[in-house]
Structure 1
Amino acid sequence: MAGDLTPTDYAFLILLQIEGREISNKELDTAYGVRLIGDSYARLNGLGYVDSQKVGSTYHHTLSKTGTKLLGGQIAEDRSDKGKSNGREQQLWAALSALHNAQLDRPRVAAVNGHRGLEERIRAAYAELTTEPGAWVSLSRLRPRFADVSKDDLDKALERLLDSPDVELEPEDNQKTLKVEERRAAVRIGGENRHLLSIGLR
């Protein structure tokens, strides 16, 4: 483990990787009975492993690229750190680290199912982000759900989806309204940056 992180810190990183999206403390509490607060919050944000922002009255968290890179290999429990975590946190860490390591040992879905597996994941993620077919979704909302996929692979999958008659990828009309994360999330196709995805209308 990285020397600056505790088992609890790693457990939160693995949870965020499993979710593959922006998730609030309220959702973490409902799903896992934990909230990213206190020392773990300060450490993970301070070291750049997690990006957090306050939305309304609760904090929302996303695994950063640095955090994703940190989890790119096998991890093992540092037993010298046990005094910093209670029994419940240690159990959570042990279970999540085992799950993380097991996932690394499995072939990637894309390797087994080819490009179609990733494209189906994009369609499924889009459906979860919208209330109706054809609605425009910013790629800045889509990308956090693919923390396990490189930007290049996701860009290629998005471009392949344009061959489908129900898929559109378009630039934001008013470029001045784009936030930094929306510009970074864009995919460049045909010499222009495209920020918005629509699926479902033919």
Structure 2
Amino acid sequence: MQHELTQRERFILLALMVHEPPTDVTNTALKASFGLDVGAGERENLAAAGYLTFLRARSSGQPYLYELTAAGRERAVEELAGSADPKSAINLRVVYALFNAVHRFLQRNHVPAEAVFNADRHDIGGDLDSPVGDAVAKEYGNLAEGPGAWVPLRALRDALPNIDRGELDDTLKLLLRRRVIRLTSEANRRTLSEADKAAALNIGGDDKHWMAIA
């Protein structure tokens, strides 16, 4: 059964579907990219419908992290075939006309929506069983206080001094795309040391300072 959604809730799903990178999308990122503030009611309604999951980034007071579920991605794709209220503003009607054109193209050419909107989620390049991936998992286990705990990227890099930074960064990005790890930023930037800043991994223009294995 399809749940009834408000226009804003439908656009939240669309925003999560097209956001880059596609995982661990924060309130801050949605605001910066789309001008969207996700309210508590919207968050709860979409989660109750099974369309997204959310959690606090690292501790109380930090931004929420959002991720579409498979049902949420399916519902967002369905919106491409939707329509705007005839009384809507002209720009919204034009946007839906564009949505419909994209939907017709996908249908006519038998292109799965995932090939367009979720390409990074299906990246199969690289080897998760590589020596670097194994080293990341091992040192995370040594550093973390428990399963799923956040560890500073600075500490992880310090524990892997013999691994080339570029190779480590590429491995972390691959693990992020495959949802093996989670990354988040330090909310209080004033607490960051120069070493913390230097160890950050830039994802989509945002420096990440903490890592957890999902």
> TM-score by structure 2 length?
0.45
Higher relative contact order (CA 8 A, sep 6+): 1
Give the structure with higher Rg (CA).
2
